[in-house]
Chains A and B, each alone.
Chain A
Amino acid sequence: MEYRRRELLGASAAGIAAAVGGCLGLGGDQSEGSITGEELALATTTSTYDTGLLDEINAAFQERFGTPVAANAQGTGAAIESARNGNADVILVHARSLEDEFMREGHGVNRRSLMFNDFVIVGPSDDPAGVADTEQATAAFEAIASAQAQFVSRGDDSGTHTKELAIWDQSGAEPGGEWYQELGSGMGDTLNNASESGSYTLADRGTFLSMQDNVDLEILLQGPIEGGPELLANPYGIMAANPEVHSNVNYDLAMAYIGFFTSPEGQELVGDYTANGEQLFYPEALSEDPNFQQYVPEGWQPDSSEE
């Protein structure tokens, strides 16, 4: 019996040894490069991450403060929800209405307007709905609806999705029917899908530019950066989770990150970042003139009847 037992032990030893070896290896990596032994939990949108901007900013932040940034790239809705559950120290998102709601609920503090780019309406180059002939985003959506041309929607409560719904809302058209498909995917997946299926979609310029070599789509209606309608503006905001509501968050680090991102150095990194030779984001945090609206929910007045 002794012999048999030993044989069995040998068989299971392999997995154990491998697992333990891996464990030790991982432990070493986690503390690498961190002075404080801490890290900053950033919940953000796919557009800032997938374009590579955050790799640039976060590397510079880590070099300066010795703290690595753990960036969790989701849609804006998911990123805010993650912070609402206390799972993020700082959020970087692009849907003002959702940001304002988050602030009004007391979850977020110290909002800053960080940077902007714009949305563009992209589609197949033969442009069956004639979007290129329109000048307003609402008119473009109406043209797509009346032609019943294929349109793919993010459908994921992201900032882009929120903007898309706002445009449909302001237009005279109803999205629906077989030509309108909600994907529930990130911007990159949605662009891939639109390219394959010959559909129109609303995209942030940054993600589109960084992917345009890989997709068969063209910009048919420009946003405000190239003289298009103001409705297609895409402003990004950053704010810290309220440490009084979420006692576990790392408020100091969050503020250090916001401070770095909105500093002349951070803003210069934003302005200098390019993909395929084109600037993706435009810094907006620094100005000689005061911009008080960035700190409060849009349209908030001290004498309004709120608490």
Chain B
Amino acid sequence: MPFESLAEPNYLRSIIQVSLTVSLTAILLSTLLSLPIAFVVGFADFRGKRVITAVINTGMGFPSVVVGLLVLMALSNSGPLGALELVYTPEAMIISQCVLAAPVITGVALSAIESVDDAVRDAAYGVGGTRTDVALITLKEARYGVVTGILAGFGRAISEVGSVLIVGGNIAYADGTSKTRTITTAITLETRRGEFETALVLGAVLLVLVLLVNGIVLRLGGR
């Protein structure tokens, strides 16, 4: 019975919706968190800057299952944040993807900011720019790098399966409507069921989505 679950009209639509909502929200939040850090670390000169940069770069390779486990332990009803009742919800998946994407966005944005030629900053000072103006000029010069960082973070978030499986639970209702089932966790389920064709179709859908988001963002970014 190939494609059996895809015949359910709700199924594909709702898992795509959950995937996009969770990952885009996670990226929005982690961008808001990461860019200020990248700017501060990128513009300031202080002791321990190299250590912080190293920590951020290490975070880029942080295993997603470990993040999932830590978030699960924190959010579990017997854990410290249990009162929020967030375990096995889309919000829990947003939190874990946010944690996963933040170092990627911070790291790539930071290296983009740092690679802006000093001459650009000096020139901005030279024509009488304030500190804010200089920061904005640098940001404008680094914008492609920053956008690349955000897209890399998005790619990590939406293609990630380890943590969302743990904190989300891969839950769909009986009518096929997804609660915490994403495209990636649906692929693991279909593979487990031996429905390789369905899993492959879902994989193709995921690829197309990532491609679309990249295309839209780069277009809006002026490239």
Contact = CB atoms under 8 A, between A and B. Distances in A.
A32 B13 CA distance: 15
A192 B191 contact: yes
A11 B20 CA distance: 19
Contacts of A173: none
A1 to B, nearest CB: 6
Interface stretch (B23-31, B49-57, B62-70, B110-118): B23-31
Q: Which of A13, A15, A29, A73 has the most CB of B within 10 A?
A: A15
Contacts of A8: 136, 139-140, 143
A22 B24 CA distance: 8
A27 to B, nearest CB: 9
A186 B77 contact: no
B221 interface: yes
A25 B88 contact: no
B170 A188 contact: no
A22 B194 contact: no
B104 to A, nearest CB: 15
B85 A248 contact: yes
Contacts of B189: 50
Contact of B174 (A14, A62, A187): A62
Contacts of B149: none
A188 B85 contact: no
B133 to A, nearest CB: 6
B82 interface: yes
Interface residues of B, number: 51
A171 interface: no
Given A1-B133, A11-B147, A11-B220, A59 B174 contact: yes
Contact of B173 (A22, A62, A73, A87): A62
A11 B192 contact: no
Contact of B192 (A12, A25, A46, A215): A46
Contacts of A33: 173, 175
Contact of A58 (B78, B140, B147, B173): B173
Nearest to A74: B169
A4 B136 contact: yes
B220 A10 contact: yes
A288 to B, nearest CB: 31
A86 B76 contact: yes
Contacts of B47: none
B100 interface: no
Contacts of B175: 33, 59, 62
B182 to A, nearest CB: 12
Nearest to B180: A70
A33 B173 CA distance: 11
Given A62-B174, A70-B171, A85-B77, A15 B20 contact: no
Contacts of B87: 87
Interface residues of A, number: 58
Contacts of B27: 15, 19
Given A15-B27, A54-B174, A69-B174, A189 B17 contact: no
A30 interface: yes
Given A19-B24, A86-B77, A188-B193, A14 B217 contact: yes
A152 to B, nearest CB: 14
Contacts of A191: 194
Nearest to B190: A188
A87 B75 CA distance: 10
A72 B25 contact: no
Contact of A70 (B88, B176, B221): B88
B216 A14 contact: yes
Nearest to A275: B1
B150 interface: yes
A285 interface: no
A188 B76 contact: no
Given A15-B150, A72-B169, A188-B192, A22 B21 contact: yes
A277 to B, nearest CB: 12
A72 B170 contact: yes
Contacts of A248: 77, 82, 85
A7 B216 CA distance: 16
Given A22-B24, A86-B76, A87-B77, A15 B31 contact: yes
A45 to B, nearest CB: 12
A211 interface: yes
A55 B174 contact: yes
Instruction: Report the 10 A-B pairs with minimum CB-CB distance, sorted nearest first.
Output: A214-B194, A86-B77, A22-B21, A188-B192, A58-B174, A59-B174, A72-B169, A19-B24, A85-B78, A19-B28
Given A14-B216, A23-B21, 8 more contacts: A16-B28, A18-B216, A19-B27, A25-B21, A56-B174, A68-B173, A86-B77, A87-B87
